Structure formats: C-alpha cells, structure tokens
Amino acid sequence: MRRGAPRQRLVLTVLLVVSCALVVLDSREDTAFVTDGARAAGEMVFTPVSAGVSAATSPVGDAYRALTAAPNARERIDELEERNRELTAELEARDLDEQRSAELEELLHLSGLGGYEIVPAQAVTRVDSQGFSDTITLDVGERDGIEPDMTVVNGDGLVGRVLRVGTKTATVLLLTDGASSVGARLEGASEMGIAHGTARSLDESSSIRFELLDADASVSSGERLVTMGSHGGTPFVPGVPVGTVKEVQDTPGALTRTAEVTPAVDIGSLNIVGVVVSEPERDPRDSVLPPKPDEDAAQAPRDDGAEDEE
C-alpha cells in the first residue's frame, strides 16, 4: 500500500486535473468548441440507444401511464357520461323549442291574417278513458279566459271546439270526431254545407264528410273549405281553413251531394294550438287560406300534416 501511494496519487491527480480542465473549457464560451465534439459524439451514441429503448419500453410506458391515470379515469368517464347526458337533453330540448317556436309562429301568422285574438295552449293528452270520442286536453282553462264553444285552431287551420272547461284545463272536441259538425263553405264561393267528423273511435286516418246543402252545387276535388262562422262567433269563428276536398261522392238519388275532405291540420300530431277568445270584427272570408298551391299539387292536400295522413 505504502509503495504504491505516490503512483496512486499521481493517477488521481491527473484524472482530477483533466476533469477540472474539462469543466473550465466547457464553461467558457470561447473554448467550448473543444467539448462540443465530445457532445456530438455522445449524441451519436445516445440516439440509437435511446430509440431502441423507446421501442422496447413503449408498451411498458403506456401501461404505466394507464395505471397512474386509472384512479382518475373512472371519475373522468363518469363526468363525461354525465356531461354527455346533459348535452343530449339540452339538444333535444332545443329541437323541441325550435319546433314549438315554428308552430307558434304559424299560429301567430294565422291569427294575424284572420284578425283572431287567440290564447296559445299546449295539447296535453289525446285519449280519454273510453277512447270513443276524439278529443284532446289543453293546458289552459277558465283562468286564461277560455269558455266552452270557442274555436280551437293551429297554424294550419281548424282543430275543433272547446267542449268543457276546467280551471286549468280545457277539453277540445276535434273536428274529426263523429259528434262534430262544422258549418263550412267552399273557397271563393258561397256554396255552403256541413262538415261532419267521421271518427267513431280513435282512428288516425279518419277524414271529414262534407255535405253540401244545395244538391245542384258543383264541387270538385282540390277545392278548399273554410268555416262559415256562427252567430256570435261560437262555436266557430268564420274564415278558418277546414280542409281540402279529396273526393266527391256523387250518389245517384241522394238529396245532397257529399264530398270527402282531408283536414287541413294534422290531427295525429297536435302540439301547439290556439283558442280563439275573440272573433274578428269582420269576416276574413278567404284571406286566411294560404296561396293556392300549384296545379300538380292541387290534388294532394296542401300541408305536410295532411300528407302524412294519407
């Protein structure tokens, strides 16, 4: 041990001096080029090694990350699912709102054309317990100024009339119900008749039977009906579109002529309706009817709802 001590110290001293020299060289800006070569060599060695290790350990690394993220992942998933539900509900609500807004707009349009004063309402239920009569329930009642025998319309035309009124609800007899009769006249003419509902029980495809008072009056398919109006505006205000003549039934020997009429409104999908609480000052005649569709489309009912029914 003793004998080797100077040599050991020499080696150690040389190594330490070299280290210190390197540190000094590297930390000085102007002499750093000496060590830059060494760094470049180190990089050349390191890059393939590092790439190899990366390739070999990437599955392990992924697993490690997945494991460290696992406790939070459950929460994160729950959070995202919750958020997803909220957003879906919001989206559906928005669609519904848009639809309601469109229906209300149509309703406003119709009431504006006819000069009716209406109370908007939402159709709540359709079926009564027996299922005989074709009625709907509205979410408006006496407190909203609704009285029996008021006309109910929606953006497309006549829906029916108010049958009974509660404090917060009102029952509406639809114009397709078998017990419903509406005084109506042909568009642009003074031929009058009575539109009877034909539904005896719930039947979506039921149409209206229009009975002309004058047996000689001419009626052809594609002509449209509006309400005639009753005395005092009850039960029906004048000028509301009722439907389109689909087929004229010319029964030989019959005292009256009858025609099958497709309702202007889609009875199957009522949502927003309006109750006419005040009749117009003067008869709007045919002004509420939308512009006559093209000749091709004349055979078909003019609105989408009626098309659905066919």
Interface with another protein, residue 68, by CB under 8 A: yes
Least distance CB 49 / another protein (angstroms): 5
Interface with another protein, residue 45, by CB under 8 A: yes
> What one-character-per-residue DSSP string does 168-220 give?
S-EEEEETTBTT-EEEEEETTS--EEEEEE-BSS--TT--EEEEESSTT----
Residues 6+ apart with CB under 8 A from 5: none
Of 30, 58, 65, 260, the one binding another protein (CB under 8 A) is 65
Least distance CB 5 / another protein (angstroms): 8
Burial zone of 48 (CB within 10 Å; 0-12 exposed, 13-18 middle, 19+ buried)? exposed
Least distance CB 105 / another protein (angstroms): 59
Separation of alpha carbons 61 and 54, rounded Å: 9
Least distance CB 72 / another protein (angstroms): 15
Of 2, 74, 231, 282, the one binding another protein (CB under 8 A) is 2
Element holding 6 (H helix, E strand)? helix 5-27
Nearer to another protein (CB atom), residue 21 or residue 124: 21
Q: Summarize the chain as % helix, strand, coil (round to 5).
A: 40, 25, 35
Of 29, 33, 50, 72, the one binding another protein (CB under 8 A) is 50
Tell me the CA end-to-end span of the chain in Å, nearest whole number: 113
Instruction: Give the strand pairing for 151-153 and 158-165.
Output: antiparallel
Neighbours of 224 (CB within 10 A): 25
Least distance CB 64 / another protein (angstroms): 7
Nearer to another protein (CB atom), residue 62 or residue 203: 62
With tokens 């407190």, the residue in question is 143
Site stretch for another protein (CB under 8 A), options 9-17, 120-128, 156-164, 284-292:
9-17
Site stretch for another protein (CB under 8 A), options 50-58, 168-176, 239-247, 249-257:
50-58
Nearer to another protein (CB atom), residue 26 or residue 139: 26
Site stretch for another protein (CB under 8 A), options 4-12, 76-84, 195-203, 301-309:
4-12
Q: Would you tell me which residues interact with another protein (CB under 8 A)?
A: 1-5, 7-8, 11-12, 15-16, 18-23, 25-27, 35, 38-39, 41-43, 45-47, 49-50, 52-53, 57, 64-65, 68
